[in-house]
Structure 1
């Protein structure tokens, strides 16, 4: 849930009970006032009727009058010093329904006789008035609540705008473009503190990135020269006819290890460049063309092992990769499929616009999951003459370009699959 939505929901959860409580309180207060005013009217009517009855003759028709609003009935009950007020519901012919009334009743004495006097006032019009008032209150409260929520939403959105701007910049950060990122000054102290911390952090990260990049490139470059000199010297020694067989074997072993060290240096530099995002996507190379190219380059190795190549590929498959990394990905996957295959083995290649997989037969068992894409972990389990960086490089390529790389093993078949996720 977004922060703005969350604060609005919390505000709504707080305000709804308050508004509901206020509405019930006002409703109760208004109803009480209506009832109080009606009771005062009944008391005033009682006083007027008492004055009138004191002057009326015993044979006055008033003593036989009986209506919903007034009723005077002879009774044997003792005279009451105080009247009694209550709410009753009676049938009202004009409304053709049961209607609420406020009733005043009291036993009084007139000309020496006791009478039960009952005065009533209909509450139906007052109930209608209360309903109208409630509707107006609900409309007013709803409008007020909507206005408050809308105002709170707009105010919160404006206040949090610098935060979301900084967040958007953080999400779009690229290591090679950190120097161009600046978090602006705002009129909110807390956001200024946050942006200042982010500016300091990005500056430190960019400095560390630049230093690491320069160190990696310089180290790789400086290592290549002595490696090349050592290899050339060993090549000259291998051509010396005066050396013994044991000396030649020692020199050849040293030469092979130097070559391995050179490949290791190159691969580590490549990994560092991929991690530093130094291979932006400037074009989309055709993976079909790339596969055909390396099948042709590896033709001699394929013929040597007498491998069967089975292809199921679309005519064109442009992928969102740097051309150099596409070369590395295809050559590594296809090279491994050839290298670790056996005589008369099979390689299956499947290519679609968003999926690329290479399956190969092999006598080597399944690669353990904890070693699959780890660096320097391929010397065991039959994987010899390898620096253990091939699959690590492919995995790094996949991660850097939001591709999905999976591995499967079934019945002697090793399968690596790359998906674009589109």
Structure 2
């Protein structure tokens, strides 16, 4: 029996079916209708900030009782400024061009057929994500702007926050032309609800997981629904021999401590031996002052014996916390080899004044975003000018890097003839 004819009774299937029914109506709306809905959503979030923060406090209280780390609590926390920022993200999406309907190619065949390739919505997008409640709004806004319905399944740690946020969004959408059912939130915290989403072929058109490595790999390995993989962020900064010490320090500190809980923060600092001989202590002292726990290789430990030796596992760990690996390397080749072995194809940086090394790094590092003399923290849809982002793709098919509006579209060919038949 097909998925269309089964009698679905689970919350996941029921909500996916509602989103599926809403998707064709949503796809026909004009840019103006969709933008009006997004603006109404933004205004409602600001107006209901107090009730959203009250729900968020329930999640934070539960997190504190369960021993959740301060960095993860920071990812979860909402205040007026953050809610205002989330609303501003929606307004920025309104200001962006609507990609739906864009003509990507147009050509005529010798037989008179006129062929156009146009952007269209993907359909129904399933979002599986963890603690950050801002993703609930980002995903809903980007999906609606591109004519996609969305089924949201956030982490249990943000359940009350997400519940209230979606209630507010539904209230706002009820006053617009966008069908309320186009945004669905799965409330069942059991992992079985995730497992069910992975196999909802026929109701979900694509899945986008956003979170830690274990969540992402579970989705990638077990889904029969197509997946756009967003990657874990084991990001590196390589301070080359010719790096300016002040710039290297500023970039490295920003990449680690500006917000360590996010996927584009640095987890490993690679330092050229020649730079380390002159300036390693400068870097170490700055991180110690910021209360960053340092785990280091033998070369670094020999110079700073009061630090902790890194284990083999540390080089492959995404901490999302005030913890940093440091390794001294003897060349660009050694830095490239380390990144190739331990990186997750997310974001990598070289700090150098040597243009040849910079070009080589930019060309040879296999990652969604590669930087020369800039912090990895810029790998972000907002910073790239995309407005809110739905995730950062580290795969190579369909999209790669921060996923803005065009990433949530597919295409179709529209062919116009005047009676042609194929001989």
**TM-score interval, normalised by the smaller of the two chains:** under 0.3
More helix by share: 1
Query: TM-score of the superposition, structure 2-length normalised?
Result: 0.22
Relative contact order: is structure 1 or structure 2 higher (C-alpha 8 Å, sep ≥ 6)? 2
Query: TM-score of the superposition, structure 1-length normalised?
Result: 0.22
